[in-house]
Chains A and B, each alone.
Chain A
Amino acid sequence: MQTIDLSELGLREVNKMLHAQAADTNQTSWTIENAKGSHAIACGLDAPIEVTVKGSTGYYCGGMNQQATIRIDGSAGPGTGENIMSGSIIIEGDASQYLGATGHGGLIVVKGNASSRCGISMKGVNIVVQGNIGHMSAFMGQSGNLVVCGDAGDALGDSCYEARFFVRGSVKSLGADCEKKEMRPEHIEILQGLLDEAGIDANPSDFTRYGSARTLYNFDVDNAGAY
């Protein structure tokens, strides 16, 4: 276990140490102390290491993550895990806006709530939120899965493409071209897998699936009011 103090070393040195880890590193476990809301902590990692960040983080913690597992022992600021490619990010507290924005892969788990625009433009990432999510979540979501064990705010899945949304609680409103969909066996299977991976005990049958109605896929003037 490597323990590094962010307030002593500074952001550049901390990230440089983490970036220096190769795929076969034997220093696989890292703890970053004194996060104190700093931005861009552990962004751009590309090694199968486990990083625990003690305290709450600012913007873009774990941005563009590849392979690494990042655990935030606190709440996470805006854009956490933006453009994540692989690996996972676990947030013990709440997550601010833009969680996992444009994420291409990997898994993000939020033990608390996630704010607005959770999963905006998601492109393959899986996001599991144990609590609620805010408005405009998964706007223009392209692919991947967003699982919400609580409620979803306004305009869920607005202008979405092929991303899937599973919500256990209520949805305040659906965004343009987002509709309720049938929960088929393959969706139950996908959802069960995501809940298991996130370590959440919930019954997939209690969830409702939402996704694109695909009416805005090609421009039609009769749909202009929806844009």
Chain B
Amino acid sequence: MTDNKIPTTTPRQSATFTADVNSDIRRAAATGIYDIRGGGAKRKVPSFDDLLFMGASISRYPLEGYREKCETNVTIGGLNASNPIELDIPITIAGMSFGALSGPAKEALGRGASMAGTSTTTGDGGMTPEERGHSNKLVYQYLPSRYGMNPDDLRKADAIEIVVGQGAKPGGGGMLLGQKISDRVAHMRNLPKGIDQRSACRHPDWTGPDDLEIKILELREITGWKVPIYVKVAGARPYYDVTLAIKAGADAIVLDGMQGGTAATQDVFIEHVGQPTLAIIRPAVQALQDLGMHRKVQLILSGGIRSGADVAKAMALGADAVAIGTAALIALGDNDPKYEAEYNKLGTTAGAYDDWHEGRDPAGITTQDPELMARFDPIEGGRRLRNYLKVMTLEAQTIARACGKNHLHNLEPEDLVALTMEAAAMAKVPLCGTDWYPGKPGTGF
């Protein structure tokens, strides 16, 4: 007898309707609200991981790791400011607000940055005395919302950063949800407690580069031309945005790629607007070079910087410094697996927790809840951040010495090769084993 049973196919999951996509659809259908979360782009994008340093051999000789110096200092804002910022290391702490972060977390950032000889940055909530007190070098963000903005704090700042955009949400504003609006946060922002606090996407009193030039003039006049004025832009159209920021008179430019974090915005915004950090640096440097301002107007790159290797690669491609946000929070203890059971209760897992806007952070960092905040020790947090910054610096120095460089700023694109065609095209460095990259002049591609 023959077996008439028809063979069945194995169940096949869709590559289009993945489990993640389906869960998004179900969540949207149940709530009617788009997903809001913190952090930066989680999708895989071409990154510094796709670049390698070649190191030295016969054609170039290396520096002795434990004998020969490799300097790391950087001066930011010497073009117009009488008091430019002098940093021991080219790794700064990016702007994160009091409100999004707890007071002790902001204190820890100041402590860690100061011990490591670098700067930290306020955020969309004004300057707190703890933060000013614990930060040797503090950059004061000047944002569209102007929450907490006042001339007294402005004059206490070591630099002013006019925020035009951020990598997680180019063209977007912000929203601090009501559950994080404590009495203190509400008071600093001059709004009722418990309501959603919207942050505008554009500045209320200027539009366009011509206005920006006048705004920079006003801020310089108010602060007596003492401190540098940075302009922070998202990685949207880096060549033109950097060109216009230079034209407007910026002393330094902070350029933030799509892996850069936010306290809260729509997931669709984070994942679908903006460009990867790797893709934005070369056009920005080109703009600086075309205007003869490279190394005169400093370029601070941010968005997914995690290690000394990332620092070295950013600097080899022309950055003067980098800024870290998400990595600094992880150093403080954010997403630590020791809180796994509590992350599970929130429906997530350590490493994936991104509902920072809800204020229920088990690590006590992205919260205003007094009980959760009490879990976080700002002194220990500061020490951890200091250690991390030191390690990143040592790693970057190790690479620079291996490339024969006695200063991190001496790293250059010629030290790099790319592992993928995409990275080669974006970084304009040769694909491994070739002397070619897509778009290289004279190659016909």
A contact residues vs B (CB 8 Å cutoff): 11-12, 15-16, 19, 39-40, 43-44, 46, 58-60, 63-64, 66, 78-79, 82-83, 85, 98, 101-102, 104, 117, 120-121, 123-124, 139-140, 142-143, 159, 161-162, 217-219, 221
- Complex-state Cα separation, A140 to B196, whole angstroms: 12
Instruction: Specify which chain A residues have a CB less than 8 angstroms from the CB of B189 in the assembled complex.
Output: 142
With beta carbons under 8 angstroms apart, the residue of B178, B204, B206, B222 that contacts A44 is: B222
Query: Known interface pairs A19-B224, A104-B150. Does A60 touch B214 (Cβ–Cβ under 8 Å)?
Result: yes
Residues of B within 8 A of A (CB): 31-33, 145-146, 149-151, 154, 175, 177-178, 189-192, 194-196, 198, 200, 204-206, 211, 214-215, 217-218, 221-225
Q: A15-B221, A123-B146 are in contact. List 6 more A-B contacts (CB 8 A).
A: A64-B222, A120-B205, A121-B145, A142-B189, A162-B192, A218-B196
The reply to whether A58 and B214 contact each other, CB–CB distance below 8 Å, is: yes
A180 CB to closest chain B CB, in angstroms? 21
If over half of B's interface residues share one DSSP class (helix, strand or loop), that class is named, otherwise mixed; here it is: loop
Q: Check A120–B204 contact: CB distance below 8 A.
A: yes
A39 to B249, CA, bound (A): 15
Q: How far is the CA of A60 from the CA of B214 in the complex (A)?
A: 8
> Which of chain A's residues have a CB closer than 8 A to the CB of B211?
59, 78
B195 pairs with A218, CB closer than 8 A: yes
CA distance A46 to B223 in the complex (A): 12
B221: which A residues are within 8 A, CB to CB? 11-12, 15, 40, 43-44
Q: Is the CB of B218 within 8 A of A59?
A: yes
Given contacts A102-B146, A217-B196, contact A43 B218 (CB under 8 A): yes
Which residues from A are CB-within-8-Å of B223?
44
CA distance A11 to B149 in the complex (A): 24
CB nearest neighbor in B for A16: B224
A124 to B151, CA, bound (A): 15
B191 touches A82 (CB 8 A): no
Complex Cα gap A18–B198 (Å): 36
Give A210 Cβ to nearest chain B Cβ, in Å.
18
The minimal Cβ–Cβ distance linking B178 to chain A, given in whole angstroms, is: 5
B357 CB to nearest chain A CB (Å):
11
Cα–Cα, bound, A5→B190 (Å): 39
Give CA–CA (A226, B149) in the complex, Å. Answer: 28
Most buried by A among B31, B33, B178, B214: B214
The 5 A-B pairs with the shortest beta carbon distances in the complex, nearest first, are A44-B222, A79-B205, A221-B32, A102-B146, A98-B205
